[in-house]
Amino acid sequence: MLLDANLLTEIESGNELLFKGNPDDNVVLCTSNKTYDVKEAETSNSLLLVPDLLFGAATSLDETIRNNSIECDSDSSFDKSNASLNNTTESDDTTISSRIIEHKDIISTFFTYYEVKPCKPRLSKLRKLLEPTTFQGLELEYAVDKSKLLNYEAIFDQIQASRAELNVELEKIQAIQIDGYYRLLDFDYEFRVLSYMLDLIDENSWALDKISKDITLESLKDLVPRSILEAMFRFYTLETSIEDGAQCYKYKEDKVCSFLARVLLKSAGKFNLVEFLQAWSDSVPEGMITNESLLSGIALIDKTSTPQVIWGFAESDLPEDINERFKILFQTKAKWTVDQISPYIECYATEKMNVNALLTKYARASTQDGVRVFSAKHMN
């Protein structure tokens, strides 16, 4: 296996490297914080596997040759030639006497090796693993198949990612550890808990940047399990100032507004854009400001229709296969600008292939009213 500098350092430091993958997966190699794709490559030169083979530096041969070379360098060119002839037998005798020739068996021959290249962790399976045990409230726990509950190590064994990358993704998808098992929150249940939390702003006459965590947890302890309250508070708030020795917080305005927009868009069908924007503005806590930019990746807007309309179109609902995703995108909307389509395809971007490169590969570019747009590459 051909190692890069980072992997070599990991091995020399005695750190753990793990090959990960099920029988039907392409294997990856993981360090504590990175994932590498592993692929077999052919070599034009055969590689011989010889255990305990000594190289020249580990014998006295190099020293003997170096000494002979020094002696020759001190003579004239004519003398060098004679010395070379005269010393041949002597040098050979010296070399032979100072070395021990051992028999070594070649135990295997290889014509391929493995290349490892940094790659994105393969995390698409994570949500699927957790969905069967989605938490919908204590009153519905009786319906959960307890045999499908997964702790951290069980998840780590099945996901092709390093621990650091898995930890980031668990936080991103808002997986919550409940009684030692990681669970997703049902959308309606998350809305219920967030509503409880936001209602306390008016009840306690809090300024938006003076939210009390202690009062929030104490006020809702009989309605929501503590582990869920702690996690939801972490997901939706940021630290601000310290008042009378107590840490104050504020809600992440963009995150709260986007989530409440998804609540309004959850019903199937299209909405009058003007009416939606008003209802959305009315649904958020007083002082928070809604903005159309917050709808990126969760909704589509058609301003060419009369009246203008909006409908839910979430990135998380699209297929994982990139070809299938592009097919649905262009079936939904014939032409997209880069800004419009980016939220739906940036999950496939890598260091070597950004969003523009993906569009060049999977879509056809054109200009419409002076704006660069992208449409299906192969049109019927």
Is-contact 125 158, C-beta < 8 A? yes
Is-contact 236 176, C-beta < 8 A? no
The fraction of the chain above a pLDDT of 90, given in percent, is 66
pTM, rounded to two decimals:
0.79
In the chain the first and final C-alpha atoms are separated, in Å, by 46
Give the number of other Cβ atoms within 10 Å of residue 298's Cβ.
Answer: 18
Q: How many angstroms separate the CA atoms of 373 and 259, rounded?
A: 29
- For the cut 50, the answer to whether the pLDDT of residue 225 exceeds it is yes
pLDDT classification of 207: cutoffs 50, 70, 90:
very high
pLDDT tens column, 229-263: 999 999 999 999 998 889 999 999 999 999 999 99
Please give the C-alpha separations between residue 278 and each of 89, 254, 264, 314, in angstroms, as whole numbers.
100, 17, 11, 21
Structure token pair of residue 171: 């936080």
pLDDT tens column, 25-60: 899 999 999 999 999 888 888 888 888 887 766 666
Which of 217, 218, 209, 197 has its CA nearest to residue 238? 209
DSSP class of residue 185? B
- For the cut 80, the answer to whether the pLDDT of residue 64 exceeds it is no
pLDDT tens column, 150-198: 999 999 999 999 999 999 999 999 999 999 999 999 999 999 999 999 9
Please give the C-alpha separations between residue 108 and each of 50, 53, 112, 303, 339, in angstroms, as whole numbers.
8, 14, 12, 68, 55
pLDDT classification of 66: cutoffs 50, 70, 90:
low
Helix (H/G/I), strand (E/B), else coil: 199: helix
Q: How many angstroms separate the CA atoms of 25 and 160, rounded?
A: 9
Please give the C-alpha separations between residue 281 and each of 49, 277, 286, in angstroms, as whole numbers.
70, 6, 9
Mean pLDDT of 335-341: 92
Which of 352, 298, 18, 314 has its CA nearest to residue 165? 18
Domain with CATH 1.10.10 in the chain: 187-251
Q: How far out from the chain centre does Cα 55 lie?
A: 42
Helix (H/G/I), strand (E/B), else coil: 252: coil
Q: How many angstroms separate the CA atoms of 268 and 266, rounded?
A: 6
pLDDT classification of 82: cutoffs 50, 70, 90:
very low
User: What's the pLDDT score for residue 101?
Assistant: 75
Mean pLDDT of 80-97: 48
Quote helix, strand, coil % in the chain, to nearest 5: 45, 20, 30
Give the number of other Cβ atoms within 10 Å of residue 357's Cβ.
Answer: 12
Give the number of other Cβ atoms within 10 Å of residue 162's Cβ.
Answer: 22
- For the cut 60, the answer to whether the pLDDT of residue 83 exceeds it is no
Between 188 and 63, the higher pLDDT residue = 188
Is-contact 98 35, C-beta < 8 A? no
Is-contact 311 305, C-beta < 8 A? no
* Rounded (5°) CA angle 186-192-198: 130
Q: How many angstroms separate the CA atoms of 183 and 178, rounded?
A: 7
- For the cut 90, the answer to whether the pLDDT of residue 84 exceeds it is no
Environment class of 270 (CB within 10 Å of its CB; exposed 0-12, middle 13-18, buried 19+): middle
User: What's the pLDDT score for residue 267?
Assistant: 78
Average pLDDT, the chain: 87
Core vs surface per residue 231-241: b (16+ CB within 10 A) or e:
bbbebbbeeee
Span 187-251: which CATH code?
1.10.10
- For the cut 70, the answer to whether the pLDDT of residue 380 exceeds it is no
Is-contact 49 110, C-beta < 8 A? yes
Please give the C-alpha separations between residue 266 and each of 262, 313, 355, in angstroms, as whole numbers.
6, 10, 28
User: What's the pLDDT score for residue 58?
Assistant: 66
**56 residue type, one letter:** G
User: What's the pLDDT score for residue 71?
Assistant: 52
Is-contact 358 349, C-beta < 8 A? yes
Which of 306, 277, 270 has its CA nearest to residue 293? 277
DSSP class of residue 14? T
pLDDT tens column, 109-125: 888 888 999 989 999 89
pLDDT tens column, 318-336: 998 999 999 999 999 999 9
User: What's the pLDDT score for residue 199?
Assistant: 96
Structure token pair of residue 20: 């990960």
